[in-house]
Amino acid sequence: MPRFIFLFLLFIHLPGWGQPLLLKRDSLPEYKKVMIYSAVLPGAGQVYNSIHRENGPKHAIWKVPIIYAALGATGYFLTVNNQTQKSLKTEYTNRINNATNLNPTWEPYDDQAVLSLYQSYLNKRDMSILGCAAVYFIQIAEAGVEAHFLHFDVSDKLTIQATPTLLGPTSAGIHLKLQFR
C-alpha cells in the first residue's frame, strides 16, 4: 500500500509536465534569439547585432570573416590530420600483413615510427575537433554578450574617478568615486 501511494504521488504531476510550452513569438530575450541565430548559422548573430544596434557605430559585421576564417582553418587542419592518420593506419596495417602496396611517403620510417606518427596525427586530429568546437561556441557566446550590451548606457552621465589616498601612516590605497547623473 505505501508503494502504491508513493507511485500515485510521484506520477500525479506527469500530465502537467507533458503539456507543450506555448511561447509568444517575441517572448525570447534578445540575447537568446541572437545566440540561436549564431548557433544555426555562424556569424548570423553578429550580423543581427549590427543591424539592430540603436546607438553608436555598427561594428559587429567585421567579425564574420574572422569567424569563417577560423572555422575554415580549423576545418582544414582537421581534414589534413584525419587524412594523414588514415594513411598512416593503412600503412601500418599493410606492413603488419606483409602487403606489397606500401606508400612511398612512409617508406623511410620503420614500423614503430609509423605507429608513433599515427598516434601523433590522431592527437592532432582530436585537437582540431576541439578547435572547431571552440571557435563555434566562442562565436555564439560573443554574439550573446554583444546583444546584452546593445542597449547599454555609455553616456557622459556615468563617471568614475580614481584618486590615490593614504589609509594610514604606512599604507596607500585608491579612492573610487562613482557618479550617476
Q: Residue 113 pLDDT > 80, yes or no? A: yes
Q: Of 59, 68, 84, 37, which Cα lies nearest the Cα of 149? A: 59
The confidence score (pLDDT) of residue 153 equals 65
Distance CA 80, CA 48 (A): 33
Dump pLDDT digits (tens) for 89-103: 999 999 899 888 888
pLDDT score recorded for residue 114: 92
- Interhelix angle 30-40/44-51, rounded to 10 degrees, is 140
Give pLDDT, residue 56.
Answer: 60
Q: Which of 79, 94, 83 is nearest to 129 (CA)?
A: 79
Helix locations, the chain, DSSP H:
2-11, 14-17, 30-40, 44-51, 63-96, 111-148
Confidence of residue 5 (pLDDT cuts 50, 70, 90): low
Mean pLDDT of the chain: 83
β-strand 172-180 against 158-166: which pairing, if any? antiparallel
- What are 135-170's pLDDT values in tens digits? 999 999 999 998 888 777 666 677 788 888 888 888
Q: Which pLDDT band, with edges at 50, 70 and 90, does 7 fall under?
A: low
